[in-house]
């Protein structure tokens, strides 16, 4: 009896509402990072004459990698509004968190 009770209140329990919320936010965060990566890749692919890796090296060397990341993060708007329209608020929250993470990365790239 005690064992069953402990299983019901476990951290990894799928019935736990906090676990479900954290899972939804994590999914949104990962999707936000993936859309930023995809947007950055597409931006370099469409507007650069060099290969992808050479473009990243030049962007890091000439300190405009932050600008490319910011332009790549514009795809997060699509994911955000998609999740809002589907009434998946926690996934949209995860996309916003990924956008803030990208903003912090850009901030640190500008400082250093």
Domain boundaries, the chain: 19-111
pLDDT value at 81 more than 80: yes
Distance CA 25, CA 44 (A): 29
pLDDT value of position 13: 58
pLDDT value at 9 more than 70: no
Contact, 40 vs 69, CB < 8 A?
yes
pLDDT value of position 17: 87
What is the longest distance spanned by two Cα atoms in the chain? 67
What pLDDT digit, counting tens, does each position of 13-55 carry?
567 889 999 999 999 999 999 999 999 999 999 999 999 999 9
User: In sequence order, what E strands does 32-94 have?
Assistant: none
Please list, in sequence order, all residues whose beta carbon lies within 8 angstroms of the beta carbon of residue 18, skipping any fewer than 6 positions away: none
Half-sphere exposure of 100 (CA within 13 A, CB side): 8
87 — alpha (psi -120 to 50), left (phi > 0) or beta? left
């Amino acid at each position: 009896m005690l064992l069953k009770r402990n299983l019901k209140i476990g951290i990894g329990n799928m019935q736990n509402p906090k676990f479900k919320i954290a899972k939804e936010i994590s999914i949104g965060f990962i999707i936000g990072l993936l859309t930023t990566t995809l947007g950055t890749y597409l931006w370099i692919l469409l507007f650069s004459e060099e290969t992808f890796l050479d473009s990243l090296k030049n962007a890091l060397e000439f300190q405009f990698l932050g600008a490319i990341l910011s332009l790549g993060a514009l795809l997060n708007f699509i994911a955000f509004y998609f999740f809002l329209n589907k009434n998946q608020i926690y996934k949209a929250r995860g996309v916003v968190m990924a956008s803030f993470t990208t903003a912090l990365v850009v901030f640190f790239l500008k400082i250093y």
